[in-house]
């Protein structure tokens, strides 16, 4: 019997942790039922490498942007640059971008400047914004609310581990929350409850691999196959059948990332014509 199909909505397949191992990582993901994923470019100078991974694997799409922790040491992305990259058929999201005061509160102004550029790129391309937020709940909530009022865009709060107020702000704007492996940790009850209180049609699942491996892999390198462990744990917390939860989060992903859904349909058609 085939496993339910899952999407890892956020991973980093270009990172050195996966060097010379991508084919094996993809095989383990498929064996776990993780048939699609979005690999995220965090520095635009790495975009060609990230794009090449997506082009080489039918189930992989990618997103591009400048991570907030890279904003101070990288050239600012330009609006024109992001819009041009978005023309690629497998480039499906803008980011990750956002605000991180946990490690670099001293670069807050530069992070905010970078974030504004990415927001406008999301507006102009129609691609979802992918937000990283850590210890910056008030500022990220205010920035996203004001920007959305000035002109709407779609968005996912990736690896959501912030407070209930930011969750409510994001959900009120129509945004999505992505469930990371952290939600499987024993002391993460408050985060699990935030996801449980959210509209179910606004939930995604991710690994953020190679980071934040879920139980029972905690402390090891994370990888897309482990999306299934997070999904099983969250399905149990929501008292949902695992297959139903997998179908739900996959449908949510396709709604937020319609370009990725289109790429998947094209890959299936190509596979069918090759038989």
- DSSP alpha helix (H) spans, the chain: 22-31, 47-56, 79-85, 101-104, 108-125, 137-150, 164-172, 189-197, 227-237, 242-256, 258-274
All structural domains of the chain: 6-274 (3.20.20.140)
Q: Of the candidates 142, 145, 115, which has an alpha carbon nearest to the alpha carbon of residue 129? A: 115
Query: What does the DSSP 8-state code read for residue 209?
Result: B
Residue 195 to residues 44, 129, 167, 220, 230, Cα–Cα distance (Å): 31, 20, 9, 25, 13
DSSP 13: T
**CA-CA distances (angstroms) from residue 63 to 39, 92, 162?**
6, 6, 22
Residue in the structure block whose two tokens are 């992918």: 130
Q: Which residues pair with 64 in a beta bridge?
A: 41, 94
- Rounded to whole angstroms, how far apart are CA atoms 169 and 142? 9
| pLDDT tens-digit readout, 147-177 | 999 999 999 999 999 999 999 999 999 999 9
Compute φ and ψ for 102, nearest 5 degrees. Answer: -65, -45
Task: Please give the structure tokens belonging to residue 129.
Answer: 């914004």
Are 13 and 55 a contacting pair, CB within 8 Å?
no
Query: The pTM is what?
Result: 0.96
User: What sign results for the dihedral spanned by CA atoms 263, 172, 247, 3?
Assistant: positive
Per-residue pLDDT of 70-97, as tens digits, reads 999 999 999 999 999 999 999 999 999 9
Burial class of 149 by CB neighbour count within 10 A (0 to 12, 13 to 18, 19+):
exposed
User: Phi, psi (5° rounding) for residue 262?
Assistant: -65, -40
Whole-number pLDDT of residue 2: 81
For 8, the token pair is 């890892």
How much of the chain, in percent, has pLDDT values that exceed 70? 98
Task: Report the run of H or E that residue 2 belongs to, with start and end.
Answer: none
pLDDT in tens, 36-58: 999 999 999 999 999 999 999 99
Report d(CA 175, CA 211) in Å as an integer: 23
Q: What is the pLDDT of residues 222-273, one digit of tens each?
A: 999 999 999 999 999 999 999 999 999 999 999 999 999 999 998 878 777 6
Q: What is the largest CA-CA distance in the chain?
A: 56
> Within 13 Å and on the Cβ side, how many CA atoms surround 148?
18
Average predicted confidence (pLDDT) for the chain: 96
């Amino acid at each position: 019997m085939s496993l339910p199909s899952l999407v890892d909505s956020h991973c980093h397949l270009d990172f050195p942790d996966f060097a010379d191992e991508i084919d094996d990582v993809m095989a383990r993901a498929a064996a776990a039922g993780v048939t699609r994923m979005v690999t995220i470019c965090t520095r635009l100078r790495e975009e060609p490498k990230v794009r090449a991974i997506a082009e080489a694997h039918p189930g992989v799409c990618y997103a591009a942007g400048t991570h907030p922790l890279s904003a101070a040491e990288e050239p600012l992305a330009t609006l024109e640059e992001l819009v041009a990259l978005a023309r690629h058929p497998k480039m499906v999201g803008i980011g990750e971008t956002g605000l991180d005061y946990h490690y670099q509160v001293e670069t807050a102004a530069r992070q905010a400047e970078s974030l504004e550029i990415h927001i406008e790129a999301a507006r102009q391309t129609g691609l979802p914004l992918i937000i990283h937020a850590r210890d910056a709940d008030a500022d990220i909530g205010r920035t996203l609310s004001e920007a959305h009022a000035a002109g709407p865009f779609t968005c996912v709060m990736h690896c959501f581990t912030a407070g209930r107020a930011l969750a409510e702000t994001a959900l009120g704007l129509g945004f999505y929350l992505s469930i990371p492996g952290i939600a499987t940790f024993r002391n993460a009850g408050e985060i699990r409850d935030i996801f449980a209180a959210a509209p179910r049609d606004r939930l995604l699942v991710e690994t953020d691999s190679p980071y934040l491996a879920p139980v029972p892999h905690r402390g090891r390198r994370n990888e897309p196959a482990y999306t299934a462990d997070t999904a099983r744990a969250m399905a149990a917390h929501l008292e949902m059948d695992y297959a139903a939860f997998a179908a739900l989060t996959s449908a949510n992903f396709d709604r937020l990332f319609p370009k990725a859904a289109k790429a998947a349909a094209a890959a299936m058609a190509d596979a069918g014509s090759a038989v």
